[in-house]
Amino acid sequence: MLSNLQRASGYSLRFLSKRTSLSPSFLSRAMNGERFPSWEATASLARACGADPEVLRKVWEDAEVRRRRKATKPEGLASALRHLHLRAGSPTPWSVHVNSGYALSQELVTALLEGTTAGSWEDVQILVQTLDGEYTYFEPLWHQALKVSPETGSETAPAAPPPVSGSGPAARVEDLIAAFGKVLSTAGNRAPSPGRPRPTPIRAATTWTSSW
């Protein structure tokens, strides 16, 4: 609204700064939505642009209500994850999947960001680390999300039932491998297989602003 008012007046920010005693930098941030001006500053700017301040009064009051409501509303896990995701440059689920060392599926990344699941704490840690965030901030949010989640209260999803063994030689070979996998993996003094790759943080930051 303020940026439209300034463009309609045809006045530069420097000229409006002289007429309102507001600094050009403040006016610029207010026009871009980075700062929310007081009603006094808004009215002064309206008069400087040749507009009736009372015309803007209702618009300003509605914006003030939204701003206060947003400031007092507690941040949830999904909201905090989306903010971190935005700060990291809004990478695609596939990019997060790859940079997490393939630990997080694309479907899980989407579900965590949309808030349809709280996931396990390990899932959240990996996502936050991949997005180059500080996971200690997210732990209380995750515990809170578990309380309101429609899922079970357990931290991890219940294990899937074992597959039903088939018949024939191929099935019997698979059963033997499943039963003696640990023995076979250590036979011949082989070195243990490397663990899951550590997530690669995504550090492409962006700046987001809102306007009213």
Instruction: Return the residue matching tokens 């479907």.
Output: 107
d(CA 157, CA 56): 52
pLDDT at 208 (0 to 100): 46
**pTM to 2 decimal places:** 0.42
pLDDT per residue, tens digit, the chain (212 aa), is: 788 888 888 889 899 999 998 998 899 888 888 888 999 999 999 999 988 888 888 888 888 887 776 665 557 899 899 989 988 889 999 999 999 999 999 999 999 999 999 999 999 999 999 999 887 889 999 998 888 654 444 444 433 444 444 445 555 555 545 554 544 444 444 444 455 566 767 765 444 444 45
